[in-house]
Amino acid sequence: MHAERPIGIFDSGVGGLSVVKALLEQMPAESFVYFGDTANVPYGNKSVPELFSLSRRIIAYFIRREVKAIIVACGTQSSNTLPVLEKECPVPIVGMLKPGIETALEVSDKKYIAVLATQATVSSRAYTKEIKNRCPDGRVLETACPAFVPLVENGQLEGEKTIMEVKKVAERIKKEPFDTLILGCTHYPFLINLIKKELDCGLHFVDPASATVAATMKILRNLNLLRTNDPSAVDHEFLVSGPPESFMKVGQLLLGTVVDEVQKIAL
């Protein structure tokens, strides 16, 4: 494997762009191939077998493309399939769960952690199990927010409907005395301003993207696979399984002109 090879990153749609943002900040010299599985979004209402079949197809594609590492930029896949995929995957594969939990446990004083995530993530109880594993006295409150992903996919980051949905979630969890909140779905950081408005009272907010990218960087450095060549000569590829136009429009809203070309592919 060569350092010049790209990193493969995938999500159900535009959510993983919150991870791409962290990647561009921390590893600007890396090339990447992003795959948004927009023909199958949302992942949050899929069964575990469905999630396996979707992620295995994407990983097989990335391996054909000879990526040097894979970032599972999706909380749902990280919670439900990653422990098995890690054993199958011939290149390093990193997910959102552990890096996010490590950060949360570092910043949390009371070790009472709320997790906003998709229904499939909440049903897996992966966050609760992993937090309890590392901190048996810790408390975890996992809450599904099924309305958030379609809103972000449509680029509705503000407006009455979005505010109402964020308020509903805030009302549900407000009375619990947690001190740290993990954004357990990669779509949610794009709603952070509204979430903070409804819930901010000295809370620690954790977007696992930054720690996930840092973990990937550490692995690549250890394997001597960090790209050190000219950062201006990198290649950023955005691929989708659904209509490329809508991904491009919302992608530019979320990440700017980095999303300059989007191609539809069949895996």
Residues that bind ligand DGL (CB under 6 A): 11-12, 15, 41-44, 74-76, 118, 121, 149, 185-187
**Residue 206 has what DSSP assignment?**
E
Q: At its nearest, how many Å lie between ligand DGL and the CB of residue 44?
A: 3
Alpha-carbon distance 96 to 74, whole Å? Answer: 7
Instruction: Look up 89 and say whether it is catalytic.
Output: no
CB of 258 to ligand DGL, least distance (A): 18
Please state, in angstroms and rounded to a whole number, the distance separating the CA atoms of residues 247 and 262.
Answer: 7
Phi-psi region of 181 (alpha: psi -120 to 50; beta: other; left: phi over 0): beta
Is 185 or 225 the residue whose CB approaches ligand DGL more closely? 185
- Bridge-partner residues for 240, per DSSP? 36, 264
Nearer to ligand DGL, 27 or 41 (CB): 41
Shortest Å distance, C-beta 215 to ligand DGL: 16
Q: Is 135 marked active-site?
A: no
Q: Which of 89, 135, 145, 185 is catalytic?
A: 185
Minimal distance in Å, beta carbon 195 to ligand DGL? 15
Assigned token pair, 158: 């503000």
Task: Using the minimum distance from each CB to ligand DGL, give the nearer residue, 108 or 186.
Answer: 186
244 three-class SS: helix
DSSP character for 202?
A: S
Closest CA to 51 of 70, 79, 71, 16: 79
CB atoms within 10 A of CB 29: 14
- Is the CB of 54 or the CB of 225 nearer to ligand DGL? 54
* Catalytic residue list: 74, 185
